[in-house]
Amino acid sequence: MYNGELIEKTKGFMDPEEGERLFQLALDASSRGACLEIGSYCGKSALYMGPACRARNGILYSIDHHRGNEEQQPGEFYHDPDLVDPRTGKMDTLFFFRTALSDAGLEDTVVPLVGGSAHIARFWTTPLSLVFIDGGHTFAAAYTDYVSWFSHVQPGGFLVVHDIFEKPEDGGQAPWYVYETAKKSGLFEELPRTKTLGVLRRYHPGELPRDLPS
């Protein structure tokens, strides 16, 4: 089980109900293969998924350049000055992420991959049982994460997208666009959502719908 007290004091934006759903999905998926998240930040989502992977003797890869997304830069709404490296003046969340993994005893389960999502995906060959997209929220960033990684989700695996809002007045539209694009691909079955957490399961070849989108 995950450490709720540690999660609560870890910086991040994961709703507890959404985190619980991530835990359950990772518990299911990690028995079939590796899991991967895009957007580590300070480790809150990894503190949900990591213990699930550990319970199944699995692994969670966690991708982030650790310089903060567009909304976390100085002057932006989600900027946290505590996360600025005083030596460089740049955001740097890697230390906080590694500290969270150490405190949770997850350093043998969660593997940090430091760099851009698309760059890491270029030569990736390992099938994945779960891909969680929660990185940059511009259209370019979110769509790049999707096109870079959706094909690596193995049949029966999950594609999970965070912060999906159907109405612009409720939140940014990039994750919603990615979610809808994945649905329209005909490769994924939509499962029940948990708040802003959209969950899709990749069809097995024999399950593919007859009428695929053109």
* Residue 195: both structure tokens together: 């708040």
- Name, in order, each residue with C-beta under 8 angstroms of 102's C-beta and a sequence gap of 6 or more: none
Active site residues: 137
Give the Cα separation of 195 and 211 in Å (integer).
29
For residue 46, how many C-alpha atoms fall within 13 Å in the half-sphere facing its CB?
A: 34
